Amino acid sequence: MIKHEHLLLVHSVVNFLRMLTMTYLKRMRKKMREMINPQRKLEGLQDCPIK
């Protein structure tokens, strides 16, 4: 039998990793977009606000 604490630990670690990868992917996507069209940098900031 797997201990309940162990399962919770694994779950929290997985959630943490998922959060990290999501933030990383968002950052990379933003960088890629800026590389593809740097002239639209200011417009893009106005298009998609942080919230």
For the record, the structure tokens of 5 come out as 């604490």
SS (H, E, C) 1-51: CCCHHHHHHHHHHHHHHHHHHHHHHHHHHHHHHHHHCHHHHHHHHHHCCCC
Query: What was the pLDDT predicted at 35?
Result: 84
Q: How far apart are CA 26 and CA 32, in angstroms?
A: 10
Per-residue pLDDT of the chain (51 residues; tens, 9 = 90+): 667 888 899 999 999 999 999 999 999 999 988 888 766 655 555 555 555
Sketch the domain layout of the chain as residue ranges: 4-47
Letter for the amino acid at 47?
D
Query: What was the pLDDT predicted at 26?
Result: 95
- What is the pTM (predicted TM-score) of this model? 0.50
Query: What was the pLDDT predicted at 39?
Result: 66
